[in-house]
Structure 1
Amino acid sequence: MRFARAFVALGVVLLAAALVLVTMRLTTAGDTLAARATMPAGWLLIRPPYEVSALVIEGETVWAGGSDGLQPIDGATGRLLPLPEGAPHMRYVRGLLLDTAGNLWVAHASGVTVREPAGWRTLTEADGLPPPRYLSLLQDRDGAVWVGAETGAARLVDGRWRIYTTADGLARPSVDVIFQDRDGVLWFGASHPTEGGLTRHDGRTWQAIDAESVLPHASVNDIMQDAQGAIWVSTGYARRGGAARLFEGAWTSLTREDGLAGERVRSIFQDPLGRLWFASEYDGAAIRKEESWLLITPRQGLAGWEVKDSAIDSRGVLWLGTENGVSRVSELP
């Protein structure tokens, strides 16, 4: 009898463990399939990866980078791909760049890793970079690669890194965002909550923008240029901020009172239909449709509440990296 009771107890334990495993499968790799049943037409939720700060398209592959490292995704199906052989382990990926030579650059907590024809290599302070962490990447139209770090920016020239700091003209030490506009002007944004700022560099002179007078908030999270040529700056921290627009020399702002989803604007991008998306930190994204706004949140199919980066592939498919997965959008709302 005692043996029978022990056997039953063991069975109960094994059954409970099996239920836990099934539940884990449904809420991790399986939650992608489960969510597909409730997705709007043309929307696909990809999870894992979870937190995604950066996206870049390489042919049929979408590279996603975030807290857990680097993840390649099949652009046609949304299925996860294995990492290439020899790829090092990376954490807290903040920036991705595919340069004109086809090299993949990855900015992460401990270095900048480059995939080249010869393999993978990681650059650090010992190679001439500023101290970590590494936050952003850009290849300018002269072909030079820029790296943004918590302590400045570095430009690769003739195989050597040239470091720029506040002593050279940066408004703030941290370089979370680097952007080059159509006139060739470089913009550097710092998103630190108390030491945020915006810098303009035309190749000769550095100009620290008076953030207090022209931006809704000094913390700069993203910079982009729309089809009309206007420069947009995403700003904010916690429950303060908005979007700033520079057009024909004049600055204007949008806030939640104007129709944005939330106070802090995390990123701004333009979809294949030409509409601007303003992504907040906590409240989803607001799409500007002429004089009206359309709000998109996880309730409407978005993977997470905060769109941190976006990319458009050769099919016109929109990829959105969030704090809780990736959305693949082939039919725009």
Structure 2
Amino acid sequence: MKIKLNNKYIFCLCYTFLIAVTISCNKQNQFNQGKSESKTDGIRLKYTTGIHSILEDSRGNIWFGSYSEGVCLLHNGKLLYFTTENGLSQNQVRNIFEDKNSVIWFECGKGLSTYDGHKMSIYKERNYNAKNEWKLNDNDLWFKGNEIEAYNKLEGNPGVYQYDGKQLSFRTLPVKTKSGHENHYLISTNFVKSKNGTIWFGTYGAVIGYNGSDFKIIDDAFLGLSDKTGHLHTRAIMEDSKENLWIANNGIGVLKYDGKKVINFTEQQKLKKKEGNSLEKVFSIGEDNLGNVWFGTVGSGVWRYDGKSVKNFTKEDGVGSNHIWTIYKTKKGELWVGGANPSGVYRFNGVSFERIY
């Protein structure tokens, strides 16, 4: 039996085939920039310098930023690696954010890069014409200065970049550096937006809050610190569900600010000591779904505070890394920690930790 096909039917058939091929190619091209590696049981992130940042985006992808080896995308069971050869401005990825248009932003040691779902690009546009015109919008993203250290001539002073969804503008912080101390007010943490609307920035020498009209500066002078007590050296900040601001420091431990006064949590818990596991060198803070506050340290594993007491988790509890750069809560409520020495991502299972990437 012969089947006769008219020209219109043949055209529709060919057109449908071309659309399918085009969609398939476009989908593949989204990931051609990065070097891919299949994700199977037992495969691990190839990074050796540490997992510095983590983000689970709105598309269900997971991003892992390294200390000096670029960023990795986990997509549909595959690991795809991006470096300066694929559009990153620098291979240290300190923080990863997603804006309201689902564009992923990478705050690198130097500069910024974005991923629009198709390709990685260095974001070069900057506005320096309104350095002192501070204002707050609902969906702002905030980033460190453009340099690895200190600030450049166009910035002229320590400050932050504000992205309002349209342009990236530099805002000068209300501080002045002394000669030889240009890194003192360099942004050292991610930004934190508190429930009362205040935006907090962590710098090495101060934690600075802006509420839309006034600034709050928590520094050595405010805390009464000196050479004898040790100085502020901020490495992470977080606001918990009770609106306490936690400040992690490299040297003097953890500070807790309730909006009125600051206490040294490490001293309060008697965890300030020179030998053995202590809560002095803290580089990351997070909170789980139960309201427990977690601290990642250098050399002393991970600590959990349940509101009454603290508990230490070390290698014996599955935390294989000596240096915990980041603590992240997934959309499912899982608590992950990313570390170095050796590098890895570890998940808390309710009792102990297990490496997952």
TM-score, structure 2 normalization: 0.67
Write the distance in 1 (CA, Å) between the matches of 2:346 and 2:75: 11
Return closer, same or farther for 1:87/1:305 CA change in 2, 3 Å cut-off.
Answer: same
Partner of 2:266: 255
* Alignment partners' CA distance in 2, 1:283 and 1:123: 37
What code does the residue aligned with 1:185 have? T
Three-state SS of the structure 2 residue aligned to 1:244 is strand
- Please say which of residues 155-164 and 198-207 is displaced more in the overlay: 155-164
Shift of the alpha carbon at 1:304?
Answer: 0.8
* Structure 1: runs of 5+ lacking an equivalent: 1-28, 34-44, 131-139
CA deviation vs aligned residue, 1:221-240 (integer Å, no higher than 9, x gap): 1111111111111112xxx2
Q: Is the alpha carbon distance of 1:80 and 1:330 closer, same or farther for their aligned partners in structure 2, counting shifts above 3 Å?
A: farther
- State the Cα distance separating 1:170 from its structure 2 match: 7.3
Equivalence for 2:54: 55
The residue that corresponds to 2:73 in the other structure is 72
In the alignment, what sits opposite 1:245? 256
Residue matched to 1:287: 304
More strand by share: 1
Give the superposed CA RMSD. 3.1
SS at match of 2:87: coil
- SS of 1:54's equivalent? strand
Query: Residue 214 of structure 2 aligns with which residue?
Result: 205
Decide whether the 8 Å contact of 1:245 with 1:252 is kept in 2.
Answer: yes
- Deviations along 1:240-286, one digit per CA (max 9) or x if unpaired, are 21111111412111126725433111111112332111221221111
Name the structure, 1 or 2, with higher relative contact order (CA <8 Å, separation 6+): 1
Deviation at 1:179, TM superposition (A): 1.5
Instruction: Name the counterpart of 2:169.
Output: 162
Which residue identity is paired with 1:70? V
Alignment correspondent of 1:6: none
Are the equivalent residues in 2 in contact too, given 1:129–1:161 (CA < 8 A)?
yes
Q: Please, which runs of 5 or more residues in structure 2 have no aligned partner?
A: 1-37, 129-135, 152-158, 178-183, 272-277, 352-357
Quote the residue 2:238 is aligned against: 224
* Equivalent residue number for residue 14 of structure 1: none
- Partner residue in 2 for 1:186: 199
From the superposition, tell whether residues 128 and 82 of structure 1 become closer, same or farther in structure 2 (CA, over 3 Å): same
Of 343, 347, 350, the match for 1:325: 343
Compared CA separation, residues 301 and 141, structure 1 to 2 (3 A): farther
What is the CA–CA distance in structure 2 between the aligned matches of 1:129 and 1:304, rounded to whole Å?
40
Change (3 A) 1:100 1:310: farther
Distance 1:46 1:181, change over 3 A: farther
* Secondary structure in 2 matching 1:255: helix
Distance in 1 (CA, whole Å) between partners of 2:165 and 2:102 is: 18
How many aligned positions are there?
270
Matched with 2:126 is 128
* Deviation readout 1:189-247 (Å, 9 max, x if unpaired): 112xxxx21212112222322334437741111111111111111112xxx21111111
Find the residue that maps to 1:228 and give its secondary structure.
coil
CA–CA distance in structure 2, aligned partners of residues 190 and 84 of structure 1? 28
How far apart are the structure 2 equivalents of 1:129 and 1:115?
21
Percent identity reads: 18
Structure 1 residues 71 and 303, CA, compared in 2 at 3 Å: closer, same or farther? farther
Correspondence for 1:12:
none
Give the counterpart letter for 1:230 in structure 2: N
Name the structure 2 match of 1:147.
Answer: 143
Q: Distance in 2 between matches of 1:80 and 1:319?
A: 19
